[in-house]
Each structure stands twice: as C-alpha cells, then as structure tokens.
Amino acid sequence: MIADYFWKIIFAVLVIVGFVHYKDWRDQGKKYEANVATIAELLDHSKNAEPFNDDEAVSRTLQCMYFLRKIEEHKGETFSIDKIFEAAQEESNNTKVVNNLLRDAFRKNYAIAKEFGVLDDEDAMSSLMDGTSTLIISGPWKGEELVVGHYISPSINDTISLHLANRLLLPKSVKLAMQFADITNDVKERADRLKRAGILDVGSFDSIKQQYDTLRELATRNN
C-alpha cells in the first residue's frame, strides 16, 4: 500500500514537471514565431508598407536589432540569421531576392551591433526596442552615438535612401565622413545587386557606374 502510494506521488510529480516544461517550450516557440513575424513586418517593402521617411527607416532598423537579439537569447547556439530570414520569408510580402539582400545587410548590422556591445547592455537594448539611437558601449568608438547610415549615400543616389537593404549601423562620425566619400568598387557592386533585385532602377545604376568609371579613369591618369 505504502509503495503504491509512493509511486503514485512520483508519477504525479513527473506529470506536473513534464507539463511545466512542455508549457515553457510551447510558450518559447510562440515567442519565437511572434518575433519572426515582427521582423518580417518591420522589413516589409511592399507597396504602402515601406518606410515613409528616414526616421521610420532608422527606427525599423534598430528595432530589428532588438528582436534579433531576443531570438538569439532564446535559441542560444542554434541562433541563425539565415534560418530567421528563411522563416520570415513565409510571413513576408517581399520577393525572395529582396529578402536575401535584407538578410545580408542585417547579418552585417547585427555583427556591428555585437561588436559595439549594445546588445548586451540593458539601456542600449531599451533604446533599440523603442527604435531610437544609443551610445556605443565598447570598442574604439565607445561613448559615441550609434546611428543608421547608408551603404550607398544619398549624395550618390537618393532613390534608395529609405530601403533597409541600404542601411548600415555606423558611429556618427563615420556616417558624417561617408556622406562625402567617393564611389568605391564595393558601392558599385552593391548598386549592381540592388539593381538586379529591382530595388535600384537601371538609370540610377548606370549613373553610379558612370561616376565610378570616371573616378577610376581620373585616378589612372594621375598615376
């Protein structure tokens, strides 16, 4: 009798513990799905859903950093931006090629955010959640404002200044310097990828390429 009662208690405890773990696993799964859906919504560039001004483009970029970090906290070593964007594609109105460009841009931005220590700082994370800029926590630019610049500066071409595939996390001083930078081969190659994705129109790409070719020709003459 006592033995039967004992095993019934053990069984009941195991059932309760198992249910608690299952409920936690289910809730974590729902949080992951919700975070992925939020990222897909923030990155939506379909008609009438794209950022309508620079402030919104900046806010969306920073908020994505926050939600990516929340996913990494849940996933741990299995965290993968590739898998997140693959899952987000199911929720997204973007084409796959646009989504891939966004994935590459945000992989770079997430690495920058990590390098600058903002993903492990409570105050910085709070700012990212609100979509507002924060101070850099670590590295050579420690204490400087972290802002959202551009891969291709609006001074070179302003038709894609609001597209999140063209946004890049930078220290404020670097962003200011890049506004007056010449067109590099990296800029030309990114412009080509944006053109092939249908983000940058052919005329704008041709203009960027012509500027690049002119600068290269002038550099060759000077040498």
> For 205-221, how does the pLDDT look when each residue is reduced to its tens digit (9 = 90+)?
888 888 878 777 766 66
Give 48's pLDDT tier (boundaries 50, 70, 90).
confident
pLDDT-derived band of residue 16, with 50, 70 and 90 as boundaries?
low
pLDDT, position 3? 56
- What is the span of the domain harbouring residue 122? 2-132
Give the pLDDT confidence of 176-193 residue by residue, as tens digits.
Answer: 877 666 678 888 888 999
pLDDT bin (cut points 50, 70, 90) of residue 84 is very high
Compare 126 and 21 and report the one with higher pLDDT.
Answer: 126
Task: Assign 3-class secondary structure to the chain.
Answer: CHHHHHHHHHHHHHHHHHHHHHHHHHHHHHHHHHHHHHHHHHCCCCCCCCCCCHHHHHHHHHHHHHHHHHHHHHHHHHCCHHHHHHHHHHHCCCCHHHHHHHHHHHHHHHHHHHHCCHHHCHHHHHHHHHCCCEECCCCCCCCCEEEEEECCCCCCCCCCCCCHHHEEEEEHHHHHHHCCCCCCHHHHHHHHHHHHCCCCCHHHHHHHHHHHHHHHHHHHHHC
In a domain, 91, yes or no: yes
pLDDT at position 219 is: 61
Which pLDDT tens digit goes with each residue over 143-167?
A: 999 999 999 988 888 899 999 999 9
Number of domains in the chain: 1
- Asked if residue 83 has pLDDT above 50, the reply is yes
